[in-house]
């Protein structure tokens, strides 16, 4: 289904109903809210990694990347930064000494808890213009759009950029 973008004015399209443009603008809003109210030290991809390890400790980096929907190079960079900050650590897999698994450090657990609480408050602020039913509808529709494209499927390589790692 095509969303009308309005009449062209002197060759320019009306982008006020263009999903790509609105998504980019939404990302700008989220970035501003994140840096203002959540963290300037922990980026959204770093939080996704911390959250994934909180949910599933002792997983390898490949599995972590799949669960966090990050490509190999991005997850490698994020993990390296979080290891350097002392938030996660690599340990030998107790079941297979040939591989390493990742887990949160005590500092990582605390950072995750702080950032998670602020991120939840940020999401409340982000969705404040919507009533409860609209919030659910928005999240449901966004999920459907994301799930319909290959970058969101397990094993696919997301088109992530490393600038927010």
Q: Which CATH number fits domain 34-131: 3.40.50.720, 3.40.190.10, 3.30.70.260, 1.10.10.10?
A: 1.10.10.10
88-120 pLDDT, tens digit each:
999 988 888 888 899 999 999 999 999 999 999
Q: Which residues contact 41 (CB under 8 A, 6 or more apart)?
A: none
Q: Where are the domains of the chain?
A: 34-131
pLDDT in tens, 4-46: 555 556 778 888 889 999 999 999 999 999 999 999 999 999 9
Question: Considering only CA atoms, which of 84, 52, 89, 79 is closest in space to residue 162?
Answer: 79
């Amino acid at each position: 289904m095509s969303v009308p973008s309005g009449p062209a004015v002197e060759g320019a399209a009306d982008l006020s109903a263009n999903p790509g443009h609105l998504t980019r603008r939404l990302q700008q809003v989220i970035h501003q809210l994140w840096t203002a109210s959540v963290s300037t030290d922990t980026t959204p991809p770093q939080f996704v990694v911390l959250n994934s390890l909180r949910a599933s400790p002792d997983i390898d980096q490949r599995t972590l990347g799949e669960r966090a929907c990050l490509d190999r190079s991005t997850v490698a960079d994020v993990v390296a930064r979080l290891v350097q900050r002392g938030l996660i650590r690599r340990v030998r897999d107790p079941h297979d000494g040939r591989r390493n698994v990742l887990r949160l450090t005590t500092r990582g657990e605390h950072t995750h808890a702080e950032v998670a609480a602020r991120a939840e408050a940020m999401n409340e602020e982000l969705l404040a213009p919507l009533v409860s039913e609209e919030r659910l509808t928005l999240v449901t529709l966004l999920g459907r759009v994301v799930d319909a494209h290959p970058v969101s499927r397990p094993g696919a390589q997301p088109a992530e950029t490393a600038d927010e790692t």
